[in-house]
Structure 1
Amino acid sequence: MKFQNTGYYYLGFLIMTFIGFWPSYFSKFFDGTAEFNQYFHFHSLTAILWVAMLVIQPILIQSKKYELHKAVGKFSYLLVPILFVSVALLANNRIDPELEFVGPEVWIPFKDLIIFSLGFGIAITFKNSMPIHARGMIVAGMALIEPVMARVMFNVLEIQGLTGYLSAISVDYIILVVLIILERKETKGRWVFPLALATFLFIHAVVLFKINPEFWESFARWFVTLPLT
Structure 2
Amino acid sequence: MEKGYRNLGYALLLLIPLAYFGMDKSCFIHFPQFGEQMNGYLRFHTVVVLAWIGLLIAQPMLIRYHKVDWHRRVGKWSYFLFPVLILSTWFQVIRISGSDEPMNLFFPLADSVLLILFYGLAIYYRRQQPLHMRYMIGTAIVFLGPTLAYIGPHRLGWSANFTQYAQYAITIFLLTGLLRLDQMHGKKYNPYLIIGLSYAIHLLVYSLLFMWT
Q: Within 1, Cα distance between the matches of 2:162 and 2:39? A: 30
Q: Displacement, 1:22?
A: 4.2
Matched, 1:9 2:11: yes
Matched, 1:107 2:109: no
1:160 equivalent in structure 2:
159
Counterpart pick for 1:46 among 39, 45, 48: 48
Distance 1:15 1:127, change over 3 A: same
| Per-residue Cα deviation, 1:32-81 (whole angstroms, up to 9, x for no partner) | 99633111211111111111101000010000000000000000000001
Distance 1:158 1:25, change over 3 A: farther
The aligned amino acid for 1:122 is L
For the Cα contact (< 8 Å) 1:135–1:193, is it kept in 2?
Answer: yes
| Per-residue Cα deviation, 1:172-215 (whole angstroms, up to 9, x for no partner) | 1111111112212555542100111010010121112217xxxx
**Structure 2: any 5+ residue segments left out of the alignment?**
none
- Structure having greater relative contact order (Cα 8 Å, sep ≥ 6): 1
Distance 1:34 1:148, change over 3 A: farther
Distance 1:63 1:159, change over 3 A: same
Distance 1:167 1:24, change over 3 A: farther
1:95 equivalent in structure 2:
96
TM-score by length of 1: 0.81
2:130 equivalent in structure 1:
131
Of stretches 178-187 and 63-72 in structure 1, the one that deviates more from structure 2 is 178-187
For the Cα contact (< 8 Å) 1:95–1:105, is it kept in 2?
Answer: yes
TM-score by length of 2: 0.87
For the Cα contact (< 8 Å) 2:178–2:192, is it kept in 1?
Answer: yes
For the Cα contact (< 8 Å) 1:25–1:34, is it kept in 2?
Answer: no
Q: Displacement, 1:165?
A: 2.2
What is the DSSP-based 3-state SS (H/G/I as helix, E as strand, rest coil) of the residue aligned with 1:128?
coil
| Identical residues among aligned pairs (%) | 25
Matched, 1:181 2:180: yes
The aligned amino acid for 2:71 is H
For the Cα contact (< 8 Å) 1:120–1:136, is it kept in 2?
Answer: yes
| Per-residue Cα deviation, 1:94-130 (whole angstroms, up to 9, x for no partner) | 214364x73x322210111111112111111111111
Of stretches 156-165 and 131-140 in structure 1, the one that deviates more from structure 2 is 156-165
Q: Figure out how many residues of one structure are paired with residues of the other and give that number.
A: 206
